[in-house]
Structure 1
Amino acid sequence: MDNSFFITEENLHMFDYRMPSTNNVSMEKMNGLPMKIYAPETVGCVVVDSQGRCAAATSTGGLTNKMSGRIGDSPLIGAGTYACNMCGVSCTGEGEAIIRSTLARDVAAIMEYKGYKLQEAVDFVLNKRLDEGKAGLIAVSNHGEVAMTENGIMEVKIWD
Structure 2
Amino acid sequence: MRGIAALCVGLPLVVGIIAVSSACSAEVRDFYIKTVHIDGTTSTKGDADHKAEPFPTAPMPEGGGLVLSKPDEAGKWRMRAFAFEPAQLVVKAGEPIRLHFVGIQGMSHSIHVKGEGVDERFTLTRGNMHTLELTPEKAGVIEIECYDHKPSMRGEIVVLAQ
TM-score by length of 1: 0.30
Larger % of helix: which?
Answer: 1
Bigger Cα Rg: 2
Larger % of strand: which?
Answer: 2
Higher relative contact order structure (alpha carbons within 8 Å, sequence separation ≥ 6): 2
